[in-house]
Chains A and B, each alone.
Chain A
Amino acid sequence: MTSPSGSISRVLLLVMAFIPLIFAAGCVFDGEADVDTAWGALKKGDPNQAIRFASRAINFGGLSGEKLGSAYECRAAANRDRNEFDRALADLDKLVALRPEYAGGYLARGEALFRAKAHDRALADMDRGLELADPSGTGKGASLARRYFIRGNIRLVKKDADGAMADYEHALAIDPSSLDARMGRSYVLEARGQKREALAEMELVCQAASKNFSLPLSRQSVYLRRVITLRMANGFDPSKPAPVIPAEAPPVPDAPKTEPAESPEAPATPDTDIEPDAVSERNLDKPLLGN
C-alpha cells in the first residue's frame, strides 16, 4: 500500500509535469489582451513591460497571423526605443516574413535600419513600405508624411539631395505643419549652397515652434541649434532672428498636435517616438486587432 506522502509526491510531480504543457498550449494567458497591454505599456514609456507582454503573447498566447505580427512589431518598437537595433531587426524580419504585404513591417524595419546606419537596406524597405502604404502617392495623414520625411532623411544621408527634397516636399504637401520636413528642406538647400534660403526656412520653423507650446523642449532646442548655425553661417547675430524671411512667405500652419520628430541631426528619443495614436501609426494598412 502506498504511503500518504508518496501519493502526495506523485500528484505534485504530475502537476509539475503538466505546467509546461499548459503554458505551451496557451491556456494560461490571453494573447490578444497581452498584445494590447504591450502596446499600452509602450505608449506609457515602459519598454520593459512592453517586451514582457509581447514576449508572453508570442510564447504562450497561441497567436498566429496578424496578431502574432502585432506582438513582434510591438516588441521591435520597444527594443528600438532602447536602441537595441539588432533585437528590433530580428523581430521585424519575422514580422515581414509573417506578413509580406503589410506596409508597417517594411516601414518600421526601414526606420530601424536607418538608425542602425544600414542606409541602403533602409531605403529599400522604405521604398517598399511606401509603395504598399501609398501606391497612388495621394495618401493623407501625418504618419504618412512622417514616413516620407524619414525616407527624405535616408536619401539626404546618401547624398541624394534631389530625392530628399522631393520627399520633404511630398511630406509638406501631406502635412503643411511638419516642422521637421521644413528643417529637412533647409538641409537640402544648404547642401546646394543656398544658405540664405536655408536660413529663411529655419527662421520660419523657429517662429512656428515658438508659438507651439506643446512642442517638447528637446525639439525646440534642435531647431534652435540649427537656426543659430545657419545665422552664423550667413554672418548674422546668432542671438537675434535674421531678417531673411521673404515678405510673401506664408506662415507655417499650426500643428494639430505635438509632432514626433527624427532628423539627421537629432536621433529620436523614446518620448518623441511614441505618439498618442501609436496604434494606428504603426498599422498603416489596417488597425491593430480590429481596434
Chain B
Amino acid sequence: MATFRNILTAFAVTALVGIAAGWLRYWMGFLVIFHGAACAGIIGWLFHRVRPDPAGSAESNASVWRWTLPLLAAFWAGQIAGIGLAQPWFEPLAYLGGIASGKGVETFAAMGSVRSYAGGMSGFLWLFSVVLDALVMWILLAVALRDDGNAPHEAEPEGEAS
C-alpha cells in the first residue's frame, strides 16, 4: 500500500466498487452495516488481486490507516455517482438530500440480535445508520487492505516449561 502505484490502484478499485455499490443500493435498498462490511471485503480482495507492487514493505500497514479515510471518501463519491447512474435521471444529491432532510425515505434492511428490521428510513436515523455503516467499513477497509494476511505466524510454544 505504501507505493504510489498501489495507492492509485486502491483508489481506482474503491471508486469502482463504490459505483457498483451505489447502483445496487438504489435498486435494492440499504443493508445497514452489511453494506459497508461487504464493500470493504470486496475492495480488499480486489486490491490484493490487482495491486502492481507486491506486499512486503514494513511501512505498508501503517500507511493503510493513513489512506483509509481518503479511500472512504472515494468510495462515497463513487457510491453517489452509482446512485445517480441507476436513477432514470442523474440527480443523486437531490435524492440523498431528500432522505437526509426527512422529505423522503430510503428502504433498508438490518438485523438485530433478536429480529430483523426493514422498511423506510430518513432523517436523523438514516444519517446515524450511514455513519455507523461508514465506521464499520472504515475499520474493515483498514483490515482488508493490510499486507500481512499471508505472513507466517511464529511458532507457538507447545507447552509451558515447568
| A residues adjacent to B (C-beta < 8 A) | 9, 23, 28-29, 46-49, 51-52, 55-56, 60, 75, 84, 87
Contact = CB atoms under 8 A, between A and B. Distances in A.
Given A9-B49, A46-B104, A46-B105, A51 B27 contact: no
A56 B104 contact: no
A38 to B, nearest CB: 12
A52 B26 contact: yes
Contacts of B98: 46, 48
A48 B88 contact: no
24 contacts: A9-B49, A23-B27, A28-B28, A46-B103, A47-B104, A48-B94, A48-B95, A48-B98, A48-B99, A48-B103, A49-B104, A49-B105, A49-B107, A49-B120, A51-B87, A51-B88, A52-B26, A52-B87, A55-B87, A55-B88, A56-B27, A60-B27, A75-B88, A87-B88
Residue of A9, A28, A47, A52 contacting most chain B CB atoms (<10 Å) = A52
Interface of B: 26-28, 49, 87-89, 94-95, 98-99, 103-105, 107, 120
Contacts of B107: 49
Contacts, number: 32
A239 B150 CA distance: 84
Given A48-B94, A56-B27, 4 more contacts: A48-B98, A49-B105, A60-B27, A84-B89
A87 B26 contact: no
Contacts of B87: 51-52, 55
A256 B120 CA distance: 32
B9 to A, nearest CB: 17
A48 B102 CA distance: 12
B21 to A, nearest CB: 13
Contacts of B89: 84, 87
A110 B104 CA distance: 28
Closest 5 pairs between A and B when the two form their complex, measured CB to CB: A48-B104, A46-B104, A55-B88, A48-B98, A48-B95
Contacts of A75: 88
Contacts of A9: 49
